[in-house]
Structure 1
């Protein structure tokens, strides 16, 4: 069994690999417990998302308050991002084990509150706590990957997590639907509790506390954390506004809040973001843009693909939902293939291909809704999943590698947080776009086709931007060794 004691002096994972790892090593005595722990941390987030999205409408029918349904998702997302922003600070302050235990208890408390709720206000309170706990868990689990595993196995860990996501996308709605239909929506909520119990036992077993953490972390940057949360909240609110001008105003306010928070963070000695985040002059900075823009572009399909299949081609919910599962399965299969490549250098060189294939997949969706050829939807979804599978795990590991030893935890915790932010921003942006071009209930087929075509075309542009940043990231990586040699 793998037992790791955190050491703030541990050097950052380097780009050198002592050979390539094998999948079977994840299941050996040295790594099995760590593999299960980190995959279970991902599973808490992934399965909870699909369980709740399936069961929550039934809870709304029982309690009433349909107007509050979107807030159950909004509050979860906002506090998950706040939790992710706090993760690195809390890990440095209290150690990974204590932080994960506390976050899991917060998540469990939220789950119990939502399960026993007698009205929508309690459900919302439970979802808020679930989001805060899961945001911290996801951030710390990412930060623990290079601590619990040797560099040669890190690609395999990301591949294993991709399998968890695909399993959640495929089985989550089915399990939750069966529990809700034949038992109760409360069962779909409560099923998280046994998983949390196992997760807690594994964390206590495999992660040891450091002997001395004094001075390892600065004060909690509460105002900046809240600013990031307010920015996401404004984006989420903008997506529910009925007036296009009001929506645009909320989005502009959100952008202003984000820019102010980022600038303030760069000047602070106790920053949330790693040094050089979003800079055009560092591989870390441009790589983070890719992490933000790829899910932002893919959010177009998450929000409108099932709707367009039901409205344009009369697909039923199950058949339309299969397209999302197809994307997840493609992501998982491709991630396993890439993680199995024998050369780390080849995986790095393939990073730019992910945004390219994502862009091609979104072009397929654009052509599908524009021409009425629904077969292109499935082709496009396979391509979108493959785009993420090719680059996502490698990109995540790469950004951890290029971070300094002192800031690796900040970078690691930022990755899942930035992914969630991308989805939130994308949902709002594409909502504004669709509404601007007339998308509404009972619109004509021509208006429906036009608005959705523009939505997916805009997603193609954003995916192309992520391709630009991916190529620049690789160019900056090649320049770095030359610059070091000249010195």
Structure 2
């Protein structure tokens, strides 16, 4: 358990046969699982109530900003959490992240204006970014290498129940009482486990493993991370319209991201340099393709193919289960197959999923064809995402797991924002389509072939050694 804050990924030979719930690792495993379960529950439960909250606060026009704040702020949280974890161990940032999540849920619940809700979502994104990076860093610090894949698979499995229960429960609570009750309830649900996690981690050593001389990266400027977060938020808002105000936001977003984003990524990321830079680029490409597919397929099913919302919800449920199952499977395959091959296999599966989604726009095929693409894509991500995280930890020198985890989180969010922005622009640019046409959807799905094929081709550049 002392590995949680001191590193030592190699493990003790005496523990070579131990599992995640052996005496040595039980406390940390239960702590991580509880954090990920509640983080997932809060993140997924909030999504369906945000439009209701925006309407109630007379801020529907600012809904894109509210919806984009969370992802944008997680960029800042990831950088802050990664550097903090490298310098003092994962305990403090993880504890701060879970407590911040509770506080920000209360801020959102008490919102009297759309701007307060946006501020609450922004701070929640900061906390979520800190938690996500701290968990990945702590896995690299707490477990020997032979247990990391299974630990990551367990973290993915922790999202299954939240994905099944979170959105419908939040919808029912909102319908019966108020969207504010959802936020207050989530804060109460998270409070005791958050305090328990802090208590468990506080009882351990505070020493962090030092980096080798010259290996530790300089402390990232928080102003740089904040500028990237602001640029990401502006980009999310900009793609929602075509008037001069949105165009100005788009120009500002591009300027901020082009100038500052490269400073948060490993040198050589854009040219897929071998090792951590390639792993970061692959995370951005794959995440961008997956989350864009996840955004456009439900829109296609609702507006163009007239599929009932309940059926679309089942597609999300199937995707969550498929992701967790594939992640569990890769935790066993990684012992027999090189990790970069699992990355390539996952990218190829996602390419098939994109092709299925494009086929789902054809009137001759059943409407549920597109829904199937979400499940297939989740299988690809279940194979690919944990494998990339393992590769990033492998490429991290001692004491730099936080930096690597932060870089992966930053690449993921930037990839998501970039790909979905390009796809949205292409979708809206198709003449005469609108949300009920099919040409725009076909064009958007065709665009997603580029990042998935590129990820498959570049997978070897992230290989071990």
TM-score (norm 2): 0.88
* Structure-2 change in CA distance of 1:155 and 1:402 (3 Å): same
State the SS of the aligned residue for 1:282. Answer: coil
Determine the structure 2 residue equivalent to 1:386: 379
State the SS of the aligned residue for 1:345. Answer: coil
1:85–1:225 contact (8 Å) kept in structure 2: yes
Summarize deviations over 1:441-475 as a string: whole Å, max 9, x none.
575xxxx111100110111122111112214434x
* Structure-2 change in CA distance of 1:466 and 1:435 (3 Å): same
1:143–1:412 contact (8 Å) kept in structure 2: yes
Determine the structure 2 residue equivalent to 1:485: none
1:142–1:413 contact (8 Å) kept in structure 2: no
Spell out the pairing of 1:99-138 with structure 2 (5 A cutoff).
99-138=93-132
* Structure-2 change in CA distance of 1:278 and 1:20 (3 Å): farther
- The alpha carbon displacement at 1:231 in A equals 2.8
- The alpha carbon displacement at 1:148 in A equals 1.7
1:4–1:206 contact (8 Å) kept in structure 2: no
Summarize deviations over 1:39-95 as a string: whole Å, max 9, x none.
333334422222111222332343322112222222222211111111122224454
Question: C-alpha distance in 1, partners of 2:192/2:352?
Answer: 42
2:341–2:459 contact (8 Å) kept in structure 1: no
1:309 aligns with 2:301: yes
Summarize deviations over 1:402-451 as a string: whole Å, max 9, x none.
122243220123323332332222221111011000376575xxxx1111
State the SS of the aligned residue for 1:191. Answer: helix
Gaps of 5+ in 2: none
1:459 aligns with 2:454: no
1:205 aligns with 2:200: yes
Which of 431, 438, 460 is the aligned partner of 2:431? 438
Question: C-alpha distance in 2, partners of 1:148/1:119?
Answer: 42
Determine the structure 1 residue equivalent to 2:5: 6
- The alpha carbon displacement at 1:384 in A equals 0.6
Question: C-alpha distance in 2, partners of 1:406/1:147?
Answer: 9
1:89 aligns with 2:78: no
Question: C-alpha distance in 1, partners of 2:328/2:306?
Answer: 34
1:176 aligns with 2:170: yes
Which of 350, 354, 360 is the aligned partner of 2:352? 360
1:260 aligns with 2:256: no
State the SS of the aligned residue for 1:308. Answer: helix
Summarize deviations over 1:193-216 as a string: whole Å, max 9, x none.
232431332233135342589998
Which of 154, 169, 172 is the aligned partner of 2:148? 154
* Structure-2 change in CA distance of 1:411 and 1:220 (3 Å): closer
* Structure-2 change in CA distance of 1:53 and 1:281 (3 Å): closer
Determine the structure 2 residue equivalent to 1:483: none
2:101–2:127 contact (8 Å) kept in structure 1: yes
1:322 aligns with 2:311: no
In the TM superposition, structure 1's runs of 4+ consecutive aligned residues that sit over 6 Å from their partners are: 16-22, 212-217, 245-249
2:208–2:399 contact (8 Å) kept in structure 1: no
Question: C-alpha distance in 2, partners of 1:471/1:371?
Answer: 39
Root mean square deviation of aligned Cα:
3.1
Summarize deviations over 1:376-397 as a string: whole Å, max 9, x none.
2243222211111112112211
Summarize deviations over 1:106-142 as a string: whole Å, max 9, x none.
2222111111223323222221221111211111111
Spell out the pairing of 1:265-414 with structure 2 (5 A cutoff).
265=263, 272-274=264-266, 276-341=268-333, 343-373=335-365, 374-414=367-407
* Structure-2 change in CA distance of 1:439 and 1:397 (3 Å): farther
Determine the structure 2 residue equivalent to 1:223: 223
State the SS of the aligned residue for 1:26. Answer: coil
Determine the structure 2 residue equivalent to 1:242: 242
Summarize deviations over 1:305-324 as a string: whole Å, max 9, x none.
11111222211111122222
Summarize deviations over 1:149-206 as a string: whole Å, max 9, x none.
2221111111111112333222211221222223332222123323243133223313
State the SS of the aligned residue for 1:306. Answer: helix
Determine the structure 2 residue equivalent to 1:484: none
What is the number of equivalent residue pairs in this alignment? Answer: 458
State the SS of the aligned residue for 2:417. Answer: helix
* Structure-2 change in CA distance of 1:173 and 1:238 (3 Å): same
1:142 aligns with 2:144: no
Determine the structure 2 residue equivalent to 1:43: 37
- The alpha carbon displacement at 1:254 in A equals 3.9
2:3–2:143 contact (8 Å) kept in structure 1: no
Question: C-alpha distance in 1, partners of 2:344/2:442?
Answer: 25
2:4–2:90 contact (8 Å) kept in structure 1: no
State the SS of the aligned residue for 1:242. Answer: coil
1:97–1:209 contact (8 Å) kept in structure 2: no
* Structure-2 change in CA distance of 1:412 and 1:21 (3 Å): farther
Question: C-alpha distance in 1, partners of 2:210/2:275?
Answer: 32
